Structure 1
Amino acid sequence: MSIFNLDRVFAPKSVAVIGATEREGSVGRTVLQNLQQAKFPGTIYPVNPRRSTVLGLRSVPAVQDIADGIDLAVITIPIAQAPEAIEQCAAVNCAGAVILSSGGKELGHKGLEIESKIRCAAANGGVRIIGPNCLGIVNTTARLNTTFANQTPLSGKLAFISQSGAICTTIMDMARRNSIGFSYIASLGSMLDVDIGDMIDFLGTRSYVSSIVMYVESLSNFRKFMSAARSVARVKPIVVLKSGRSEAGARAARSHTGAMTGVDAVYDAAFERVGIVRVKTFEELFDCAELLAKQPRPPSPRLAIVTNAGGLGVIAIDALADYGLEPAQLYPETIDKLNQVLPEHWSRSNPVDILGDASPERYRRTAEVLMHAEEVKGLLCIHVPQAISKPLHVAEELVDVFAGTKFPVFTAWIGGEESVQARRVFHNANIPTFDTAERAVRAFMDLYRYDQNLEAIQEVPPKLPRKLDVDPKKAEEIIRTGCESRTPYLTELEAKHLLAAYGLPVNTTRLAQSSSEAVHLAREIGYPVVLKIQSKDILHKSEAKGVQLNLRNDAEVVEGYKDILASAAHYNPRACIEGVTVQRMLPKPDYEIILGARKDQDFGPIIIFGMGGIFTEIYQDRSIGLPPLNRLLAKKMMKQTRLYRLLQGYRSIPAANSLALEEAMIRLAHLVSDFAYIEELDINPLICMGQEIIALDARVVLNPEPAVPTPFHLVISAYPNQYESYATTKNGLDIFIRPIKPEDAPLLTDFFKTLSQQTVYFRFFRPLKQLPKDMLVRFTQIDYDREIALVALHESEGGEEMLGAARVIKEHHANSGEFAVLVSDSWQGQGIGAALLKTCLTIAQERGLQRVWGCVLSGNTQMRALGKKLGFDIKRDQGTTDYILSIDLQHVDLVGEKATPQAQPSHVSDLRT
């Protein structure tokens, strides 16, 4: 349901507290008091059938007795009564309810039944549910506090989401003591309805939210979560503490929330893919939150460190080294300036050791120099108590110097009571402060990691040098046959045929059902050869002694064939033996790699890359990625392994073909993206010999009845090739219309150069000489679930040329979207814009959008003419000279208008009529 009604939930005009009471220590009383103490400006309705007033407010017996209706209900009564309360809320058009009551799915079957009744009652009336088993919600900008915490948080621009009420109250208490403010706090509890994905989407649209911090035990609706996080993390930092990293922790999370958790390494890969920074401890989460709330993000890791104790400066440097970084190298001019304010024996390097007798003034003058140094992009001041200089006096001297900085400035004041008082001064001045140098550096690096993640997810991936031709029909036939067989496994031969259908290089493999046939095949393939048992009942061939290597003549093949059959019969007398495969015996490879995929219970297909061969399980040198992949993502997976350094070449061993490996990973990701039936797929080993890569062995496990069908088994929407089509322009040029890809950034840049300034102004409502990088990334790296973006291409021997582009962006609050169309000046009037927009509208209609609209400048007569041709309603934008074009997709037939879906290249739409 996404963010429907959440604006009314978090900024209500009226709130009903169901179960409000004056009983000391009760949840109902505490919630009512918190609403009053926060000075909520709307109307508060205590709901209690046994009292006429509660805490000075007139009480009503039931929700339906509230004549003016309500926006938000807070339910504090036992959860067994919650379904009836939600029915009453639905009857008065209540936007949402916060259910504080516990006793839901975390208690088992009975709790699940109650939650089911709540869900049904809420769905019937469109009531959003937060909880149950939660602390409540806070919006400081609306002066709303529906929690039963013992205080109202300070106002700020940090948002906090938590599944644990206890973590929420702890964060709120620590934040107040450290002068950290929040705009929103949402304790989600069991997430019966509103989940973390919904909250990320909602907070991403709020101007009073600068960053989001989360405590997560489990996720629901993983595809929605990934889509929301991927969208919002590009503009606002998201930091998460995900508990359940260990197996024991995962079991505890299940008992607490009643939800399943996945393999922790997959969560790491998922968070990194969407740009989320993951922290490991509660302390780290809070430290990162403090820096996010109080300081700008570091533009680079060039940190300067000032200390009055050399040893602590070294500790800070070591902490930086743990991240593979060094402190900022001070320029000679900076050292000259420091020479003028520091005694002769200062360190003359970074860390800047200003000696144990450093006075408050020496700290201040040193900080001033470094804050104006071009090479410094972050400043950490460390202080330990010395006999000459008092911690409190130094802190008071630095507070004014640190005001208005453009990069992070933070402190580590180490010591007892005097240092505690100094840290309080920093807290009151909104300057982050820590009690150890390591904590300070770690928090700084967490913020820098966000910028690194952001840069990585916005990098333009290079194209592969050739088109990825695949044969999905052949692959589907192999998979269907495998699903219909008595076991869910493909034989090695079938698995290799499947890989070959998607262009993955495999070792030539033929099946023999007799020793004489094996000899015949061996002669065809060429000696030496390998024989392997072919049986779905024997998955691990080596264990069954079902492999014979390096057979060099006919006699050895005959003997090897007999030995394999005898060993297989001994290993599993009931095994159904289909024969023996004959394969080319290859020379010793340069490298052995494992490349595979498996279905994660939470995140769907994952891709695995790492060191292969017989020592795969021992070395455990693997990385994990989520499909779909491009060259950048594939290369990143490779770099995350220790194997990657070896693949660059070592001594006499040549470097592996990195491009071929990237292509193989991308092809495998395509395969598992296209077929939800694949549960597991292992290529082990994938060998590298010179510039060649070959799959020597393959294993595929199928699920004839996958829980989620294609393409929804993926948590990241894949390229929607069903929207590819061909068309012919009015002057007879064949064009290819397809969804935009991240690799299209260079094409889009070249396309922009063909536009006149007038065309640019009509599209962007302002002059642009070139597309800024952030805009280029935003236009090409789209979420196919959220946005429809198509391009029209002319394909020739010289490559591709972009002729036009169009998109429809779905709006958050409604089943509507905004369109935009752009066609190269030299190709306008050829029907390209009409073909693009009609296809966009058809897709929007298919996805349930009811209305598509766009703003058109008064001088853009061509766009108005196109809108009229396609049936748009055209009206003046009130108070301007511009026009609003809109079309009701519920009452328009676009079937005959759209470009023909791609079946064969000869199937085209003719735009000349």
Structure 2
Amino acid sequence: MSLYNLDKILKPQSIAVVGATDRPKSLGRSLVHNLIKGGFKGDIYPIHPKKPEIMGIKAFSSLQMVKKPIDCAVICTNIKTVPAIMQQCVDLGIGGTVIISAGGKEVGPEGEALEKEILAIAEKGGVRVVGPNCLGVVSSQANMNASFAHIMANPGNLAFISQSGAVCTSVLDFAAQEQMGFSHFISIGSMLDVDFGDLIDYLGNDPEVKSILLYVEMINNHRKFISAARAVSRVKPIVVLKSGRSQAGAKAAQSHTGSLVGEDAVYDAAFKRAGIVRVDTLGDLFGCAELMAKQPRPKGPRLAIVTNAGGPGVMAADYLASYGLEPAPLSEETFAKLDAICPPIWSKSNPMDLTGAATPETFKKAIDICCHSKDFDAVLIMLPPMAMFSSVEFAKDIAEALFDLDFPTFAVWLGGKEMEAGRKILNQSGIPTYPNPEGAIRAFHYMYTYGRNQEMLQEIPSETSQNAAIDPQKAREIATRALENKESLLTEVDSKNLLRAYGIPATLAKVAESAKEARAMAAEMGFPVVVKLHSKTITHKSDMGGVVLDLRNENEVVKAFNTIQAATREYDPEAHFGGVTIQPMIRQKGQEVILGVKRDPDFGPVIMFGMGGVMTELFKDRAIGLPPLNHLLARRMIEETKVYRLLKGYRNIAKVNLDQLEEIMVRLSQLVIDLPEIAELDINPLLLTPGWASALDARVMISPAAEPSPLHLSISPYPAEYEGFRETKTGHKLFIRPIKPEDAPMMLELFETMSQKSIYNRFLRKVTVLDRDTLVRFTQVDYDRDLALVALDLSGHKPTMVGLTRLSGDPDGVSAEWAIVVGDPWQEQGIGAMLMNVAIETGKKRGLKRLWGYLMAENKGMVALHKRFGSKLTKTKDGKKYQAVYDLDQ
């Protein structure tokens, strides 16, 4: 349902409290009291079967007796009564509900059955549900405190969403102390209906909300969550505290990848891919929230540390170093300005220890110099208690000096009660304060990380070409055969054939079922060779003596066969022994890495890269990513690991072919997109050299897929089903396909063919340059919600983009904004009409009800085209534009 009827909960005009009472210390009384005290300006309808009045407000015996429109019902009765109440809400057309009542799935099967009954009734009637088992909803925008929280949130621009009511009240307490303001406080409890994805979408579209904070225990609809977060995090920060760093799931895994990729690591990868900043503690969430609420985001990592005591400055620098950062160096200009005002014994470097000899005036001037210097992205001010320094007066001076300055500044007022008054002054003035350097540096680092993550996510990938073809049908046959034979573990031969089907290089492996066959195969292959166990049940061959290396003659091969056969019987008499595989011994030196896949129960397949060979589980040097991967995302995964330093060349170690490694990772990503039956996969080791790469060993675990491709993924992959050739009325044959991130150069070339008039007609404003951010926004789309289809002319020496149509999905899930662009050289050739048909067909395929967009009234050609296709055109108030709406059911 997404945004449908959420306004009824978050911006209601009327609220009914079902279970209202005036009994002291009851939920029903707290809810009514908070609505009144919070200043809710709409109608409040307490529902009580017997009381005519509650807290001075007329009460009603039932919802039916209200006889007036009700936007939202807040329900706090016994959960067993909720199904009947929900049916009343449906019958009365009440759009939103907040179920405070506990006793749902958290108590067991009976409660879970009740929740299912409630949801079925609500869905049938289009009623949205927050909860059950929640604290309620607070919106300072609407002066609404529809919760049983003990205090109302101060007005502000932060939104907070939490699964825990206790965490909500803790944050409210802290916010009041630190003078932080919130636009929304939403406790979502069991997320029976409204979940994180819905609320991120809703708050992302609210211009009054500048940042979103989440306390997460679990996520139910992972694909919706990531889609919403990816869209919103581009325009406003999302910070999450995720509890439950359990490794229990990893212990049951049979592969190296499974044991290295625990639940928490997958959440980390998902948050990073969505552009979310993850914090580790509630204190960090508070600290990060305070910095976001009160200050602009730092544009980079260059921090100035200004203090009058050496120790705190050193502590701050040390903590900064733990994140791989260091205090920004002073330019000659900044140094000269500081040296002219500071005591002779000041540190002359950053951290800037002005020493105890510095007067408050000197301290204030130094801060001003740093805030106006081009050397820094943020300034941290630290003051310890000092007899000759009034922290209160200095706080007043700082607050006044920084009042109108749009530059990130924050403070550490070290000490206890003596410093509290100064902290309060700074907090009231919008300057965040922290009790110690560690908290301040952590908050700064988290905010810098958000900016860096956004930059990485918006980088434009280079154009690439796949030289090796893929054979999805062959891979499908291997998986199907194994499932039909009820085999969960593919043999090494089948595992490598699966990889080769996707162009992933792997060493040759031939199966010998007897010692005689092994002797003959080895002689034919040429020595030296490797002999490995061929089994459908044993996963780790090395652990039980199932691998013998560097065999130089036939006798050694026969001996190895017999040894492996005996070792298998000793290891497990019931284990399958299918003979051995004969493989060439690779002598060339290189770097061993591991590539793996694990099917996460929540996020679907995840991909791992890291240090390989026998050191895999010892060093646990790995990076995790979610498919689909492109070359840029693959490179970022590689760069996260320590082994990357070796791969790019280190001392006498040669650089490997990183481009080929990226290509292998992209192909592995495509394999897991196409084959949801892959439960676990290891390529260990993948040997990398300067000239080539090859999988020396591979194992794949197969099991039936819960969902078909691509529904098993958390991020929608490239939708190849929209590819195809189209012909215009003039006989111009064009290839239509979804846009790719790599299309940015072609998009820029298309823009350069357009006149200023054409550009104005497309953007509805003057645009002279297609900047990088716009290019990224147009080419890096979330295929779940947006789809741009490009028209390519393939007749030349390289593809040329001649036009495109774009459908930008609205959060309601039923409509999309619609635009068509055709380059000037290709206009009046029927391409616009062809793209119009493509857009309409695509909208219908995606289950949309309508397409809409704006046209310049002077754009006669496009206006005529819309009229011909039957769009409804409505002129805007200024008469300069039309709104075009196309009903897809017509």
**Shorter-chain TM-score range:** over 0.9
Q: For the structure 1 residues 248 and 657, does the alpha-carbon distance in structure 2 shift closer, same or farther, using more than 3 Å as the test?
A: closer
Structure 2 residue matching 1:614: 3-state secondary structure: helix
Q: Which AA in structure 2 matches 1:725?
A: G
Q: 2:652 aligned with 1:652, yes or no? A: yes
Deviation at 1:49, TM superposition (A): 0.8
Aligned position for 2:93 = 93
Cα separation, 1, equivalents of 2:349 and 2:563: 72
The sequence identity of aligned pairs, in percent, is: 48
Q: Which AA in structure 2 matches 1:78?
A: N
Deviation at 1:376, TM superposition (A): 2.3
Deviations 1:270-306 (A, max 9, x none): 1111110000011110011101110000012221111
Deviation at 1:559, TM superposition (A): 3.9
Q: Which AA in structure 2 matches 1:319?
A: Y
Q: 2:857 aligned with 1:858, yes or no? A: yes
Name the stretch that deviates more: 514-523 or 314-323: 514-523
Coordinate RMSD, CA, aligned: 2.0
Cα separation, 1, equivalents of 2:544 and 2:309: 65
Cα separation, 2, equivalents of 1:759 and 1:775: 17
Aligned position for 2:736 = 737
Structure 1 residue matching 2:614: 3-state secondary structure: coil
Contact 2:246 2:262 in 1 (8 A): no
Structure 1 residue matching 2:147: 3-state secondary structure: coil
Cα separation, 2, equivalents of 1:649 and 1:334: 38
Cα separation, 2, equivalents of 1:830 and 1:681: 50
Q: For the structure 1 residues 562 and 248, does the alpha-carbon distance in structure 2 shift closer, same or farther, using more than 3 Å as the test?
A: closer
Contact 2:304 2:379 in 1 (8 A): yes
Q: 2:190 aligned with 1:190, yes or no? A: yes
Contact 1:160 1:185 in 2 (8 A): yes
Structure 2 residue matching 1:790: 3-state secondary structure: strand
- For structure 2, which runs of at least 5 residues remain unmatched after alignment? 252-260
Aligned position for 2:306 = 306
- For structure 1, which runs of at least 5 residues remain unmatched after alignment? 252-260, 892-913
Contact 1:357 1:386 in 2 (8 A): no
Alignment of 1:656-671 (within 5 A): 656-671=656-671
Aligned position for 1:372 = 372
Contact 2:625 2:637 in 1 (8 A): yes
Aligned position for 2:82 = 82
Contact 1:788 1:844 in 2 (8 A): no
Deviations 1:197-219 (A, max 9, x none): 11111100011100001111111
Deviation at 1:373, TM superposition (A): 1.5
Aligned position for 1:606 = 606
Cα separation, 2, equivalents of 1:367 and 1:593: 49
Cα separation, 2, equivalents of 1:638 and 1:76: 51
Cα separation, 2, equivalents of 1:496 and 1:551: 22
Contact 2:50 2:61 in 1 (8 A): yes
Name the stretch that deviates more: 130-139 or 317-326: 317-326
Alignment of 1:561-580 (within 5 A): 561-580=561-580
Contact 1:611 1:620 in 2 (8 A): yes
Aligned position for 1:718 = 717
Name the stretch that deviates more: 680-689 or 326-335: 326-335
Aligned position for 2:627 = 627
Aligned position for 2:106 = 106
Deviations 1:693-737 (A, max 9, x none): 101111111112x22221111001101111111134455554221
Aligned position for 1:774 = 773
Deviation at 1:598, TM superposition (A): 0.8
Deviations 1:766-798 (A, max 9, x none): 121221211111101100000121111223673
Structure 2 residue matching 1:859: 3-state secondary structure: coil
Aligned position for 2:887 = 888
Alignment of 1:787-866 (within 5 A): 787-795=786-794, 798-813=797-812, 815-866=814-865
Aligned position for 1:223 = 223
Contact 1:683 1:699 in 2 (8 A): yes
Name the stretch that deviates more: 608-617 or 590-599: 608-617
Deviation at 1:588, TM superposition (A): 4.7
Cα separation, 1, equivalents of 2:680 and 2:161: 35
Q: Which AA in structure 2 matches 1:39?
A: G
Structure 1 residue matching 2:141: 3-state secondary structure: helix
Q: For the structure 1 residues 571 and 100, does the alpha-carbon distance in structure 2 shift closer, same or farther, using more than 3 Å as the test?
A: same
Deviation at 1:450, TM superposition (A): 0.7
Deviation at 1:871, TM superposition (A): 4.1
Cα separation, 1, equivalents of 2:651 and 2:389: 57
Contact 1:262 1:602 in 2 (8 A): no
Contact 2:308 2:356 in 1 (8 A): yes
Contact 2:241 2:285 in 1 (8 A): yes
Q: For the structure 1 residues 435 and 469, does the alpha-carbon distance in structure 2 shift closer, same or farther, using more than 3 Å as the test?
A: same
Deviation at 1:589, TM superposition (A): 3.2
Cα separation, 2, equivalents of 1:44 and 1:397: 46
Q: For the structure 1 residues 386 and 884, does the alpha-carbon distance in structure 2 shift closer, same or farther, using more than 3 Å as the test?
A: closer
Aligned position for 1:784 = 783
Contact 2:343 2:357 in 1 (8 A): no
Q: Which AA in structure 2 matches 1:808?
A: L
Cα separation, 1, equivalents of 2:754 and 2:118: 56
Q: For the structure 1 residues 494 and 99, does the alpha-carbon distance in structure 2 shift closer, same or farther, using more than 3 Å as the test?
A: same
Aligned position for 2:255 = none
Name the stretch that deviates more: 779-788 or 403-412: 403-412
Deviations 1:530-573 (A, max 9, x none): 22232212323234433332233334334433443344344444
TM-score normalised to structure 2 length = 0.96
Deviations 1:354-383 (A, max 9, x none): 221433322222222222222122111111
Q: For the structure 1 residues 569 and 376, does the alpha-carbon distance in structure 2 shift closer, same or farther, using more than 3 Å as the test?
A: closer
Structure 2 residue matching 1:615: 3-state secondary structure: helix
- Deviating above 6 A after TM superposition, structure 1's stretches of 4 or more consecutive aligned residues are 248-251
Aligned position for 2:596 = 596
Aligned position for 1:907 = none
Contact 1:529 1:550 in 2 (8 A): yes
Contact 2:383 2:414 in 1 (8 A): yes
Q: 2:46 aligned with 1:22, yes or no? A: no
Contact 2:15 2:42 in 1 (8 A): yes
Contact 1:246 1:264 in 2 (8 A): yes
Q: For the structure 1 residues 772 and 468, does the alpha-carbon distance in structure 2 shift closer, same or farther, using more than 3 Å as the test?
A: farther
Name the stretch that deviates more: 722-731 or 209-218: 722-731
Aligned position for 1:901 = none
Q: For the structure 1 residues 549 and 247, does the alpha-carbon distance in structure 2 shift closer, same or farther, using more than 3 Å as the test?
A: closer
Aligned position for 1:335 = 335
Q: For the structure 1 residues 280 and 607, does the alpha-carbon distance in structure 2 shift closer, same or farther, using more than 3 Å as the test?
A: same
Aligned position for 2:764 = 765
Q: Which AA in structure 2 matches 1:508?
A: L
Contact 2:786 2:808 in 1 (8 A): yes
Aligned position for 2:707 = 708
Deviation at 1:387, TM superposition (A): 1.8
Deviation at 1:134, TM superposition (A): 0.7
Structure 2 residue matching 1:374: 3-state secondary structure: coil
Q: 2:505 aligned with 1:505, yes or no? A: yes
Cα separation, 2, equivalents of 1:870 and 1:165: 52
The number of equivalent residue pairs is 881
Q: Which AA in structure 2 matches 1:826?
A: P
Contact 1:528 1:585 in 2 (8 A): yes
Contact 1:789 1:840 in 2 (8 A): no
Contact 1:270 1:626 in 2 (8 A): yes
Structure 2 residue matching 1:737: 3-state secondary structure: strand
Q: Which AA in structure 1 matches 2:13?
A: K
Deviations 1:133-192 (A, max 9, x none): 111111111111111111111100000011110110111111011110000110011111
Contact 1:737 1:836 in 2 (8 A): no
Q: For the structure 1 residues 56 and 875, does the alpha-carbon distance in structure 2 shift closer, same or farther, using more than 3 Å as the test?
A: closer
Deviation at 1:519, TM superposition (A): 4.0
Deviations 1:224-279 (A, max 9, x none): 0000001100001000111112459999xxxxxxxxx9711111111111110000
Contact 2:546 2:564 in 1 (8 A): yes
Deviation at 1:409, TM superposition (A): 0.9
Structure 2 residue matching 1:117: 3-state secondary structure: helix
Cα separation, 1, equivalents of 2:201 and 2:190: 19
Alignment of 1:124-139 (within 5 A): 124-139=124-139
Cα separation, 1, equivalents of 2:799 and 2:404: 49
Q: For the structure 1 residues 66 and 366, does the alpha-carbon distance in structure 2 shift closer, same or farther, using more than 3 Å as the test?
A: same
Aligned position for 2:256 = none
TM-score normalised to structure 1 length = 0.93
Contact 1:303 1:380 in 2 (8 A): yes
Cα separation, 1, equivalents of 2:402 and 2:469: 58
Cα separation, 1, equivalents of 2:203 and 2:837: 33
Contact 1:527 1:551 in 2 (8 A): yes
Contact 1:243 1:250 in 2 (8 A): no
